[in-house]
Amino acid sequence: MSDDAADIAERKMQFLFALRSKGVTDKRVLTAMEKVDRGPFIRGYFAHRAYEDMPLPIACGQTISQPSVVGLMSQALKVSPRDKLLEVGTGSGYQAAILSHLARRVYTVDRHKRLVDEASAIFRELDLTNITAVTADGSFGLPDQAPFDRILVTAAAEDPPGPLLAQLKIGGIMVLPVGQSDAVQSLIRVTRHETGFDYDEMRPVRFVPLVEGLGRDG
């Protein structure tokens, strides 16, 4: 094994160990995160920090979540291989790439056209053919493709948006951060039943706010 290959193998092992130590234990999620290199999703000044468990800034004033949070959110969704999934907040595309290894189909929306275009280019490079990325106001979901088995929201709202709740299948799960400020947010899991919704609070988090309308670039 060359020094470079040994370094990559060591870095991957440390990466997976860090995920497990933060509570990411689902084997399918860990396998998906081992397959998807975070490096291509981070460009510019912070590229050398791609393998650290920390959030990093990306274009359009957004962030790429730390891998352990990506793993915990993916795990909380309990995705099955037959699921059709909606992600609100494409960002770098890293979370959607992880989900593409867990679900049958992933639809991801972002209000910033630049982010959608850049993420779509990476999806093509990685041959992730089961992801459809769309520039749209994610707070309204994707009515044309609804209902969804799973919905993941990567921006914080005061309450789970009504249009997204309506697009969740009976028996479906939505995971999202909720909170009135960027200082106080909780990650919650919403499960839809015939008679209503169950809400489980999971852990404190910090995400950018969910903003209505399209970004200035799109």
Sign of the alpha-carbon dihedral angle for 32, 34, 36, 42: positive
Structure tokens at 186: 């909780």
- Report strand pairing: 84-88 vs 105-110: parallel
Q: What is the DSSP letter of 104?
A: S
* Count of beta carbons in the 10 Å neighbourhood of residue 158: 11
The angle at the Cα of 178, spanning 167 to 123, to the nearest 5 degrees, equals 60
Active site residues: 65
User: CA–CA separation, 75 vs 78, rounded Å?
Assistant: 6
Question: What SS3 state is found at 151?
Answer: strand
Strand order from edge to edge, sheet including 131-135: 131-135, 105-110, 84-88, 148-153, 168-178, 185-193, 196-205
Q: Please name the helix (run of DSSP H) or strand (run of DSSP E) that holds residue 6, with its range, or none.
A: helix 3-21
Residue 154, φ and ψ in degrees, nearest 5: -110, 30
